[in-house]
Amino acid sequence: MVRKLEIKIHDGTLLRGHLYAAQPKAPVIIMSAGLSGIKEHFLPTYAARLNKEGYSVVTYDHRTWGRTSSSNPTYIPIYPETLDESHTSSNGVMMGTEECFRHYADIRNIEPFRVNKITLQTLFHVMRSEPQEYISQISPKPLLMVVGVRDSLIDAQKQIAAFQKAKEPKELLELDCGHFDIYRGEIFEQNIATQIAFLKKYL
């Protein structure tokens, strides 16, 4: 059963999401989309599969995304609007590769993704973020990292180098795909099967 969910956080922002409820006291998995996504972007496929395996799943939109409340921040474009624009280094967008454009073409009509923009404050926080500095501190909690070796957005070797800094227990899944291919087809099946096996091993 899937039902709508609202979570008020410390500053009054109302996060909106969905709860995929399993049996009482079932483990709960919290999912949010990547930087440019909303909960309707492929998360339902993952959530439904995990829910079928006996997990409750919460999906939600970050502030200023999807149906979550927001103020009136300053925005910049996320994706190139045309294929030609994706081949221009000075296109002025945050995620400007051809792979990103093709992904945007797939998701642009999924409600409520109505605008191709991200807040300037978010870009600032992304530039300041250094997850490699903290990855070693995840242990003793187990880590599963999934890397698309043909990722055009984030260099796969840099991702693997970050994984090497993590401590055990940890697992790495390398898939022959790009940044967004994990949501579809056989790559999705490999990914979700590994995630389910990982969860069953550690929960």
What residue has token string 């999906």? 59
- What pLDDT is stored for residue 115 in this prediction? 58
Tens-place pLDDT, residues 132-164 = 889 999 999 999 999 999 998 889 999 999 999
Domain of residue 150, residue span: 132-203
Residue at a domain's end among 23, 40, 70: 70
Average pLDDT over residues 4-29: 93
Average pLDDT over residues 8-36: 91
Closest by Cα among 93, 137, 98 to 118: 93
Average pLDDT over residues 24-47: 90
Q: Are residues 19 and 3 in the same domain?
A: yes
Q: Are residues 145 and 164 in the same domain?
A: yes
Largest CA distance in the chain: 52
Residue at a domain's end among 93, 110, 129: 129
Q: Are residues 81 and 147 in the same domain?
A: no
Q: Are residues 103 and 49 in the same domain?
A: no
- The residue with greater pLDDT, 86 or 201, is 201
Q: Are residues 123 and 187 in the same domain?
A: no
Q: Are residues 2 and 33 in the same domain?
A: yes
Q: What share of the chain is helix, strand, coil (3-state, %, to 5)?
A: 35, 20, 45
Tens-place pLDDT, residues 69-97 = 665 555 655 555 655 655 555 555 656 67
Q: Are residues 63 and 25 in the same domain?
A: yes
How many structural domains are present in the chain? 3
Q: Are residues 105 and 146 in the same domain?
A: no
Identify each DSSP E strand in 23-169 by its residue range.
Answer: 28-32, 56-60, 75-77, 117-119, 143-148
Q: How confident is the model at residue 109 (pLDDT cuts 50, 70, 90)?
A: low
Q: Are residues 76 and 142 in the same domain?
A: no
Q: Is the pLDDT of residue 64 over 80?
A: no
Q: Are residues 184 and 137 in the same domain?
A: yes
